[in-house]
Amino acid sequence: MSAPAPLVRFEGVGKTFPDQVALDGVDLDIHAGEFFALLGPSGCGKTTLLRLLAGFETATSGRVLLDGEDLAATPPHQRPVNMMFQSYALFPHLSVERNIGFGLRMQGLAKAETAARVADLLALMRLEPFAARKPDQLSGGQKQRVALARTLARRPKVLLLDEPLAALDRKLRDETRGELKDLQRRLGATFVIVTHDRDEAMVMADRIAVMDAGRIAQVGTPAEVYERPVSRQVAGLLGEANFIESGGGWIMVRPEKMKLSIKPVKAGDRVFEGVVRQAAYLGDRTSYRVEVDGGLVLSAVSGGRRANIGDKVWLSYAVGDAVMLKS
Amino acid sequence: MTNLFGGTKPSHGEERRLRRVSNHAPTAQGRGFPFVLPPYLWLLVFFLFPFALVFKLSLSHTVLAMPPYAPQLDWRAGPAGMAAFVRQLDLGNYSRMGGDHLYLTAYLSSLKMAAISTAILLLVGYPIAYGMARCSPRTRQVLLLAVILPFWTSFLIRIYAWIAILKPEGLLNAALHLFGLAPLDILNTDTAVYIGLVYAYLPFMILPLYASLERQDPALVEAAADLGCPPWRIFWSIVLPQSVPGIVAGALLCFIPIVGEFVVPDLLGGSGTLMVGRVIWTEFFSDRDWPGASAVAIVLLATLVIPIVLYQRHQARALAEAD
């Protein structure tokens, strides 16, 4: 890939709060048109990074650049970025329509133009029947769509989404993931999303920055960070993983890459003989916990149901499916 | 119940079943009854009953006796005595009030002073309440305590303290002298009354305002800024509109008692300070005109209650329209 100038660039960004170091030398590029996810456990600094971009926090060190320009001197209300808040932060005294049009009125856009854009967004978000309602008369999913429409209204260079799906129930969350990704692709907009949910990041994002303790642990496509993690933390954050000690380092193998067989396999250094301790049948697959020699418990996933608790099994993996980790 | 069956009228059997069902499932009203009873009882004993007494008194005449009014209700005389009693009541006190300028002037002057002090209270109280709602939890505790602390001292003593501050050779003029400024002669003027009123009622303005401002999601301010709202405008478009219920509550909580306020104008005001509370006091204690004082009090109550009822109706209608 040729390297065009990034839309957003964090350069050695540090942020220290009185009681903690939130960010510790973050370098990160986000390109135009990307769906970019900041993934990490709570307290890893991902929200602080987003708020720095929105202008609600100022960096203790380093620079935040948008289109090559340092944002330090630009207050939040003059930045060409818009944020969708985790609580949605809809204005309770304004109707859906006026909430969505708020940013346009602040821009001083002509009334007719504002009305037209609001109408477009109401249609896009399937909110037309609720245009005159107040936020407290909406369901959770409707509120979420109003918040998204309001964030889109000013056609920002970057859309910041702080845990946009966290307040929805499970079923709605799964549906909305796909819609959000679809919307981003159709608009060709740049989305930066903060999430602690690895499925959310994997399903929606073009690239993921995995964060840990105020640092960027790894940046890559979902496949890269899942299949080629650089550390145990990253591997564990993105899914279940087996860690096998090997000559001062670790070998990581995903459970679905562990081949489970009920017939003896010729012994080798990539073969483990063991006993099934747990077997969770999940319909399309079964997840096994197998205790192998030396007390190590390994996970394996295979289609159908092939072994029961107490059965003797053999686990093996291919060289290409294993990842060497130094830490 | 109208649309339960898509507009068709339920048959007899259905109707009975419905009634039975609704008997089993307690309605909100039914469930709430034991809990709404105490407030109504309270209202009856401490408001409606005394109100009825004062109203009855306002329809009586002054006499030189003890008690200083007639007629007296004699329960032993039975229904005939009751009828005789009612026949002797009249609206004489009210028509006398209508004929005397003093009363109208006193009412208007009270309403004006209450309106001005409420406006000042709002201007002074709002920034304090806003600051309290936005500061750190620990500072907030201290500030809340500071707002409530004056209640630990007698109201009367605190107003007397203002006399010590405002009198010609008092603390204020001593301080002014220290800075080489000319002394002020404020005590026994309307200015002193305004100072006293604002001082005395400030907590009643701050607390409801604080309660409504504190409830606001701080993310709303960030969201407004994010959407291009400059800081000065955030206050007008986001913070202020949402605090309207707090403003109304605070204003009513101050305005209503100030209209009938007696202690502050009596202690700090001059002979020119005309307020209804003082008129009632004078009629009652100096002139021993209990019926006259009662009539003034009833009119005062009516002038205060009617606007509040109208406002509440308006609120209820607005709420119904929102649904």
Residue pointed to by tokens 């009681």: A19
pLDDT digits (tens, 9 = 90+) for B34-73: 777 888 899 899 989 999 999 999 999 888 887 888 888 8
Q: In this complex, which of B224, B226, B233 lies closest to A54 when CB atoms are compared?
A: B226
Residues of B in contact with A93 (CB under 8 A): 241-242
Is residue B261 within 8 A of residue B118, CB to CB? The reply is no
Q: Which residues contact B233 (CB under 8 A, 6 or more apart)?
A: A106, B224
Give the neighbor-by-neighbor strand order of the sheet with A8-17.
Answer: A20-30, A8-17, A61-66, A69-70
- A8-17 and A20-30 strand pairing: antiparallel
Q: What does the block give as tokens for B318?
A: 């607005």
Residues of A in contact with B233 (CB under 8 A): 106
Return the SS3 of A39. strand
What is the pLDDT at residue B323? 53
Instruction: Locate the chain B residue with the closest alpha carbon to A56.
Output: B222
Residue pointed to by tokens 């954050």: A237
Beta bridge partners of A63: A11
What is the pLDDT at residue B251? 93
Q: What does the block give as tokens for A24?
A: 């510790």
Contact B227 A150 (CB under 8 A): yes
Contact B226 A77 (CB under 8 A): yes
Give the separation between CA B3 and CA B186, rounded to whole angstroms. 68
Residues of A in contact with B242 (CB under 8 A): 92-93
pLDDT at B210 over 90: yes
Three-class HEC string of B103-134: HHHHHHHHHHHHHHHHHHHHHHHHHHHHHHHH
Average of per-residue pLDDT values in chain B: 85
Residue A308 CB neighbours (<10 A) = 12
Return the SS3 of A244. strand
Contact A77 B217 (CB under 8 A): no
What is the pLDDT at residue B31? 56
What is the pLDDT at residue A3? 64
DSSP A101-151: HHHHHHHT--HHHHHHHHHHHHHHTT-GGGTT--GGGS-HHHHHHHHHHHH
Which residues in chain A show pLDDT less than 70?
Answer: 1-3, 327
Is residue A255 within 8 A of residue A321, CB to CB? The reply is no
Instruction: Locate the chain A residue with the closest alpha carbon to B228.
Output: A77
Q: Give how far B320 is from chain A: nearest CA, Å.
A: 13
Backbone angles phi, psi at A193, to 5 degrees: -115, 140
Residue count (chain B): 323
Residue in A288, A305, A307 with CA at minimum distance from that of residue A297: A288
Class of domain B92-322: mainly alpha
Question: What is the H or E stretch that residue A324 is in?
Answer: strand A323-325
Q: In this complex, which of B226, B238, B322 lies closest to A76 when CB atoms are compared?
A: B226
Contact B229 A93 (CB under 8 A): no
What is the pLDDT at residue B221? 94
Is residue B297 within 8 A of residue B289, CB to CB? The reply is no
Q: What angle do CA A223, A224, A230 make, to 5 degrees?
A: 135
Mean pLDDT for B201-223 is 94
Interface residues of chain A, partner chain B, Cβ below 8 Å: 54-56, 75-78, 81-83, 85, 87, 89-93, 102-103, 106-107, 134, 137, 150, 153-154
Q: Which residues contact B68 (CB under 8 A, 6 or more apart)?
A: B62, B288, B289, B290
Question: A103-106 long-range CB contacts below 8 Å, 24 or more apart?
Answer: A103/A150, A103/A153, A103/A154, A103/B227, A103/B228, A104/A153, A104/A154, A106/A77, A106/B227, A106/B228, A106/B229, A106/B233
Mean pLDDT for B108-119 is 95
Residue B256 CB neighbours (<10 A) = 18
Q: Give how far B323 is from chain A: nearest CA, Å.
A: 8
What is the pLDDT at residue A293? 83
Return the SS3 of A322. coil
Residue in B257, B314, B302, B308 with CA at minimum distance from that of residue B58: B302
Instruction: Locate the chain B residue with the closest alpha carbon to A151.
Output: B227
What is the pLDDT at residue B77? 80
Give the separation between CA B321 and CA B323, rounded to whole angstroms. 5
pLDDT digits (tens, 9 = 90+) for B269-289: 988 888 999 899 989 998 889
Residue ranges of domains in chain B = 13-88, 92-322
Domains assigned to chain A: 8-232 (3.40.50.300), 242-325 (2.40.50.140)
Is residue B77 within 8 A of residue B84, CB to CB? The reply is yes
Contact B224 A150 (CB under 8 A): no
Residue in A294, A114, A195, A220 with CA at minimum distance from that of residue B228: A114
Contact A102 B229 (CB under 8 A): yes
Q: In this complex, which of B219, B241, B322 lies closest to A85 when CB atoms are compared?
A: B219
What is the pLDDT at residue B13? 42
Mean pLDDT for B3-10 is 37
Q: Is B4 exposed, middle or buried (0-12, 13-18, 19+ CB in 10 A)?
A: exposed
- Claim: this prediction has a pTM higher than 0.80: no
Q: In this complex, which of B222, B228, B323 lies closest to A106 when CB atoms are compared?
A: B228
The region of weakest confidence among A261-275, B10-24, B153-167, B217-231 is B10-24
Contact B228 A91 (CB under 8 A): no
